[in-house]
Structure 1
Amino acid sequence: MSKKIGVVVSGRGSNLQSIIDHIAEGKLNVEIAVVVSDHKEAFALERAAKAGIPTAVVERKGCKDKAEFEDKIDAALREAGAEAVVLAGFMRILTGHFISRWEHKIINIHPALLPSFKGLDAQGQAVDYGVKVAGCTVHFVDEGTDTGPIILQKVVPVLDDDTEETLAARILKEEHKALPEAIQLWADGKLTIQGRKVYVAR
């Protein structure tokens, strides 16, 4: 039986689409139980609906505090039967209130080679710094900002004439490969976490 994941989004949902496509092509053996968005206008919700995936909207402005906001996301995921949470362009920082309930079961994709260039505008940071390679990182989420144990990384060159936009586009292509790959490793039970390190069974 396929493992069930919940995908949490904020925007256009290109990484969500990659997961949907990998499942449809038989390259990823999981079921998306629900897509949860903190914006009712997020295009990711349209992608989910087109694929016949249940959706839920939990907006921060409709909650009295962050704890209630996270409780409602948690409830939507659990009601759908999600066994892990995938953050695919979710633009909010989750607190320990939520993370502690899903320890080592929240997977995030970040458009940089962590621990370099954490937080927002990672691609712009990379261009400004003058690095020669960049990439993306899939990691488990802990209570820090982009500090959780790393599952896998993909590398791309940084060209002399790169802008934030051109580098972001090159990295995004690798994100669309890396996130489904990491999810499949989790679904196959091949990931073991010891301290900061994630060991991958082969």
Structure 2
Amino acid sequence: MVKIALFASGSGTNFENIMQRVEDGQLPNIEVTALYTDHENAKCIERARHFDLPVHINELNQFEDKRAYERKILDLLTTEQVDWIVLAGYMKLIGPTILSVYEGRILNIHPSLLPKYKGKDAIGQAFNSGDSETGTTVHYVDSGMDTGQIIEQSRCPILKNDTKEELENRVKSLEYELYPKVIARVIQ
């Protein structure tokens, strides 16, 4: 059994999608140890409770610095004997403290065709770009912002009469299919 920790900061739809697939047996041999979040009011917490999953809430402002923040997270990961970290909308850069132990074993999904549109509001950036397509990327996490080795991408057209919300919904649908497939292939 491979133990993974899911990290999320927001609504938690990718988190919920992964949890549902674990529960349904579509991601066999994976055990999710806990949800790690950096916001005490994040919606992903409610979703985790639906699955009776432990939740670790660590807000950066509770710690002396980012190193102490990551040391606390690393202590929890070590206690839970976590093999892999899977980011599902986690909005903090992973720093050297966690990378020193988990580099090469941290996955992230990003709503663009990296290397285009790194960082926040990638869908908005793509929508306003005039590009004819965007998509989603699963990649390994390294010390940069969305700069890790790309594992797989899925493309999505930007239609002439799209609204940003319509585009976001199509990209999310791609994420929900691509991420579990990559998790199964890479982690298992």
Gaps of 5+ in 1: 189-202
Query: Which amino acid in the other structure matches residue 18 of structure 2?
Result: I
SS of the aligned residue for 1:101 comes to helix
Instruction: Kindly state the Cα deviation for residue 157 of structure 1 after the two structures are TM-superposed.
Output: 1.1
Residue 168 in structure 1 maps to residue 168 in structure 2: yes
1:77 maps to amino acid: L
8 A Cα contact 1:107 1:140, kept in partner: yes
Letter in 1 for 2:24: E
Q: Distance in 2 between matches of 1:163 and 1:146?
A: 25
Distance in 2 (alpha carbons) for counterparts of 1:117 and 1:133: 12
Alpha-carbon deviation of 1:32?
A: 0.5
Q: What do the CA deviations read for 1:56-104 (whole angstroms, capped 9, x no partner)?
A: 1111111010101111111222222210001111111122232122110
Structure 2, gaps ≥5 residues long: none
Amino acid at match of 1:19: I
Match of 1:11 in 2: 10
Could you tell me which amino acid in structure 2 is paired with residue 130 of structure 1?
G
Q: CA deviation at 1:151?
A: 1.2
Mapped to 1, the partners of 2:173 and 2:75 lie a distance apart of: 32
Give distance in 1, aligned partners of 2:40 and 2:76: 15
Name the counterpart of 1:196.
none
Letter in 1 for 2:163: T
Kindly report which structure 2 residues correspond to 1:119-198, keeping only aligned pairs within 5 A, or say none: 119-188=119-188
SS of 1:129's equivalent in the other structure is: coil
Distance 1:166 1:76 in 2: 38
Alignment coverage as a number of residue pairs: 187
TM-score normalised to structure 1 length: 0.89
Per-residue CA deviations over 1:125-160 (Å, capped at 9, x if unaligned) read 111111111110000001111010111111111101
CA contact (8 A) 1:127 1:158 kept: yes
Normalised TM-score (structure 2):
0.95
Q: Deviations over 1:13-36 (max 9, x none)?
A: 000100011112211121101111
Task: Give the letter for the 1:48 counterpart.
Answer: A
Q: CA RMSD in A?
A: 1.1
- Runs ≥4 residues deviating over 6 A: none
Aligned to 2:71: 71
What letter is aligned with 2:52? G
- The one-letter amino acid paired with 1:10 is S
Matches within 5 A, 1:55-70: 55-70=55-70
